[in-house]
Amino acid sequence: MNNYFINSFKRKIARRITKKYPARIDAFEVGTYGTVEFANWENPLVEPKSITIDRIRFFEKFLKDGDFAIDIGANIGQMTVSLALVTGKNGLTLGFDPNTYVFEILSENTKLNSCKTNIIAYNYAITEENGTFYYTSSEASFNNGGISSEEKNRHGKYTLETKIKGIQLETFLQTHHADKLSTLKFIKIDTEGYDKEIIRSISNLLLQFKPTVITECFGKNSSEERFEQFELLHSLGYHLYYFSDFSINADIIPIKVKEDMLNWKHFDLFAVAE
């Protein structure tokens, strides 16, 4: 009972007072990948993350050793590390997150498992044009949040002291990773309702290289926003599929028409080029 009240108090503090929380290095046995280390964030509002063979097998459906993958909205790096284990030392996985608090933990995860992975993390948002933006959260410890050109916005009342940098991804990749673009096979997007704007900003990359796209349909998105997300991917030559979890055994349901986007409130989908 005492632990319950102590943990409840810690969560209350994390919601109301801005402070940094350290990383804790955990180790997981992940099938043929062996021992994998992962930096968990000791923020009381964050459930500890794990690296599992089931999630990795899911990504193996889309990727192989030597491929290039991109994680947009990487947070502390659970998906980034899982992707990087599949793409391996010979491939490359990029993790982008504009939140300076989670980026510190993401950076720790790029340094672990260096004999198995090749990860580069960038403290940037992906935007339609280069610029600077406000980053706001509903929690003082910045467990999550989103970007906006306006300081007052729907993401919450807590704002990072310094504006974050937004970059146009295609231009950035042409400048910094042009040698890897021919092996671009996968892009994951999870940006608190900003996904369709990112899809629009990377449409040339999708048309040219046809990577599989995993994107989130945010629970607060309107019907019109959901339809736009469907039509944007469909216009780029993609077939869409709902999936129930990042698991090799996930339920998968085709999303055939835009109205199917109303069948679930908050969900992930993957899109595969024709």
Contact 47, 144 (CB under 8 A): no
CATH code reported for the domain at 2-273: 3.40.50.150
Q: What per-residue confidence (pLDDT) applies to 185?
A: 98
Taking CA atoms, 4 is separated from 7, 8, 11, 63, in Å, by 5, 6, 11, 42
- Which long-range contacts link 129-133 to residues 24+ away (Cβ below 8 Å)? 129/166, 129/168, 130/165, 130/166, 130/167, 130/168, 130/171, 131/165, 131/166, 132/163, 132/164, 132/165, 132/166, 133/98, 133/163, 133/164, 133/165, 133/166
Predicted confidence at residue 27, as pLDDT, reads 98
Tokens 């935007």 found at? 127
Give the separation between CA 48 and CA 33, rounded to whole angstroms.
21
Spell out the residues 6+ positions from residue 32 whose beta carbon is closer than 8 angstroms to its own: none
Q: Are 215 and 97 in contact (CB under 8 A)?
A: no
Tell me, what's the pLDDT at 4?
A: 67
What pLDDT sits at residue 151? 77
Residue 260 has what pLDDT?
98
pLDDT of residue 242: 98
Per-residue model confidence (pLDDT) at position 144? 83
The residues facing 120 across adjacent strands are 94
Tell me the C-alpha distance between 80 and 72, whole Å. Answer: 9
Provide the token pair at 85: 């284990």
Q: What's the pLDDT at 210?
A: 97
Question: pTM for the whole thing?
Answer: 0.94
- Side-chain-side CA neighbours of 105 within 13 Å: the count stands at 29
Domain parsing of the chain, residue ranges: 2-273
Please give the pLDDT value at position 18.
87
Contact of 145 with 136, CB cutoff 8 Å = yes
Extract the runs of DSSP E, i.e. beta strands, from the chain.
23-29, 35-41, 68-72, 92-96, 119-122, 124-126, 131-137, 146-148, 158-159, 164-167, 184-189, 212-217, 238-243, 252-255, 267-273
274 residues of the chain, pLDDT tens digit each: 566 667 787 888 888 888 899 999 999 999 999 999 999 999 998 999 999 999 999 999 999 999 999 999 999 999 999 999 999 999 999 999 999 999 999 999 999 999 999 999 999 999 999 999 999 988 888 888 888 877 777 777 889 889 999 999 999 999 999 999 999 999 999 988 889 999 999 999 999 999 999 999 998 899 999 999 999 999 999 999 999 999 999 999 999 999 999 999 999 999 999 8
